[in-house]
Amino acid sequence: MILLNATLAEPQHFSIAEKLLLVALVVVSGAGFWRRFGAVLDKIFKSKKDASFHLFPIGKRTWDFVWEVVCQAKVIRQRPLAGLAHAFVFWGFCAFALVTLNHFAVGLGIGFLDPNGWFGRLYFYLAAVFALACAAGILGLFIRRFLVRPKWLSQKLSWESGFIALLIFLLMATYLAAFFVADTDPAARILWWAHTLAILTFLPIIPHTKHLHLVLSPATIFLSRGGFSQIPPLVGDEDFGLIAGTDLTQLVSLQAYSCVECGRCTEHCPAANTGKVLNPKEIILGLRDYLNELGPASEEPLLGKYNAPEAPFQCTTCGACEFQCPVGVEHLPILVGLRRGAVNTGAWENDYGSKLFLALERGSNSLGMAASERDKFIEKAGLPNFDGTQVYCLWLGCMGGYDPKGREIVADFARVMKYLGASFGVLRKEKCTGDPVRRLGNDLLFQQLAEENLKSLAENKVKKIVTICPHCVRTIQEDWKEFGTPPEVEHHSEFLARFADKLPKQASEEKIVYHDPCYLGRYRNVYQEPRAIVELAGELVEAPRNRERSFCCGAGGGLAFLGEETGERVSHVRAAELVATGAKTVGTACPFCNSMFRDALAEKGDSAPQLLDIARLTARGLPENGTS
């Protein structure tokens, strides 16, 4: 009968020959590890320095590290079952760090954890609990990868992953089995050597495979740019974006080597899910292949052999990829960087893109309309001029100033502001914030628009902006910082939610499905405020993909202006999902989403749900004259 020992069994003595063999094996294994890992580090360190990188504030970095690496929070939150299995393996490795050090020390006769002392006994039992969890976790991951086989993991079976899973399982099994033998039993020695060989086989495999993330991803998460979709400024006259290997920065190279190929980014990508060429995982792996084959000193273009030139331009900048990535890969600076490179070298030729750039160079708005059209709308809607005395500057944005449906949103929001007695006005002249050109990689034009707007806002003494467009909010608050200090800015959902108790609650059971716009949700973390407003107008219904998992409408990243898409239309896929909820109304909080769904829902004819922005939903509950 096999009995559980009071503690872990370790062989008592090792012969000189065994010790020499152990040292030789450790040296060979370590050399195998370093041969590849040293080369990877060399490529990362020889990449261009990140000019805008700074380590401070260190508190946020430490918190992200503890939350995402130590607690594995992101991994678990996004895929709870697989995430937990992964976390068990990770925590098992952490607990085994001390056990492993002691294991090799025992082989050399200098073991420092006494299995019969109170601490050693306690620690070995604790490690046994982690070993059980780790073995269960790796078994679960193995079953998922080889039997369940989700489609976003590569369809090719990865035997390397299977082998590594086997090694990890063997490590845990040999450790646990040592609790069931006596230390004088020859089986203890066999288990000890089996455990040793499993470790020494595992070590050199790490840097040769995607398991490199075990070593790199803690650093990648700690050193990340520290904010969502942080597009670094171009530096000096020679920086035109990501064109060749010489433009890859240390952070980009570190991230490329950290990718664990989990496919979470691709699973959530609206482009990859609607038949486009763009696949965010392949973008990152393409950069890794480039670094492996050509290195960071190469002048060969990044787009071409390693990534399709059209791929970055199919990105809606929805940010689902970056939000999901568990190892800190920041896709958006990379995708926008590749666009910058293609735009600045003239490699990107697109009639719609040229038309947009021209419209913004010559005029004031991305819709290419005469500024007088905005004046006419302001007059017709009776919007007061901003004269420096009001609290809020109501920023119209291109969609609010020129798009007929966007104007309806602005007009209704202004009615609500008047009803609430808020003091506001609109600027006589306003230019596009530069959002589409910023995301499309035309920095020169973006800078011009940002500077002109900042100057005009300062001249008009604007202190607070409120707007119906989350793209304007993001661009004003974050992107303009590169060129000055923007005024405070908020989205109308935040404004409305603040006054929710003063707004009428409509006696309606109408089901309203709310669509989270990417630039309000993932970019600004605003989820509850628009929901609070929807609940005043009817019964809130959730789409299957909601909040931070919301599926894009297809308009972002300048794509609203780039004409027909290839493959299925992103807006149609999302609209179908919203319609399938059975809600009578689709509630939006972004004029771009509104415009995309308007076209997609038009196809449904009379059976289509109505489409209303939260400002319109609120305004319809106001007393007839719209004033208090």
Residue 4: CB minimum distance to ligand SF4, A: 40
Residue 372: CB minimum distance to ligand SF4, A: 36
Q: Compute the radius of gyration of the chain from its Cα atoms.
A: 29
Q: Is 167 exposed, middle or buried (0-12, 13-18, 19+ CB in 10 A)?
A: middle
- The smaller minimum CB distance to ligand SF4, of residues 152 and 180, is found at 152
Going by C-alpha positions, the residue among 280, 267, 272, 285 that lies closest to residue 82 is 267
Residue 262: CB minimum distance to ligand SF4, A: 4
- The smaller minimum CB distance to ligand SF4, of residues 325 and 410, is found at 325
In whole angstroms, what is the distance from residue 489 CA to residue 435 CA? 15
Query: Which stretches within 159-295 are classed as H helix?
Result: 159-177, 186-208, 213-222, 250-258, 264-268, 280-293
Going by C-alpha positions, the residue among 540, 520, 524 that lies closest to residue 532 is 540
Q: Are 520 and 588 in contact (CB under 8 A)?
A: no
In whole angstroms, what is the distance from residue 116 CA to residue 100 CA? 17
Which residues are within 8 A (CB) of 545 and not within 5 positions of it... i.e. 6 or more apart? Answer: 551, 577
Going by C-alpha positions, the residue among 525, 41, 46 that lies closest to residue 258 is 41
Q: Is 494 exposed, middle or buried (0-12, 13-18, 19+ CB in 10 A)?
A: middle
- The smaller minimum CB distance to ligand SF4, of residues 21 and 215, is found at 215
Binding positions for ligand SF4, rule: CB under 6 A: 259-265, 268-271, 278, 280-281, 284, 315-321, 324-325, 327, 329, 331, 335
Tell how many helices (H) and how many strands (E) occur in the chain.
25, 8
- The smaller minimum CB distance to ligand SF4, of residues 264 and 374, is found at 264
- The smaller minimum CB distance to ligand SF4, of residues 281 and 524, is found at 281
Going by C-alpha positions, the residue among 221, 215, 251 that lies closest to residue 63 is 221
Q: Which residue type sits at 86? A: H
Q: b/e string for 550-560 if b means 16 or more Cβ within 10 A?
A: bbbbbbbbbbb
Residue 135: CB minimum distance to ligand SF4, A: 24
Residue 557: CB minimum distance to ligand SF4, A: 7
Residue 470, phi then psi, degrees to nearest 5: -65, -25
DSSP class of residue 395 equals E
- The smaller minimum CB distance to ligand SF4, of residues 11 and 207, is found at 207
- The smaller minimum CB distance to ligand SF4, of residues 254 and 320, is found at 320
- The smaller minimum CB distance to ligand SF4, of residues 280 and 333, is found at 280
Residue 574: CB minimum distance to ligand SF4, A: 12
Residue 32: CB minimum distance to ligand SF4, A: 24
In whole angstroms, what is the distance from residue 620 CA to residue 506 CA? 9
Q: Which residue type sits at 181? A: V
SS3 489: strand
- The smaller minimum CB distance to ligand SF4, of residues 73 and 197, is found at 73
- The smaller minimum CB distance to ligand SF4, of residues 138 and 271, is found at 271
Can you spell out the DSSP letters for 273-337? GGT-S--HHHHHHHHHHHHHHT-TT--SBSSSSSS-TTGGGG-----HHHHH-TT---HHHHHHH
- The smaller minimum CB distance to ligand SF4, of residues 165 and 462, is found at 165
Residue 219: CB minimum distance to ligand SF4, A: 14
Residue 307: CB minimum distance to ligand SF4, A: 12
Residue 82: CB minimum distance to ligand SF4, A: 12
Residue 158: CB minimum distance to ligand SF4, A: 13
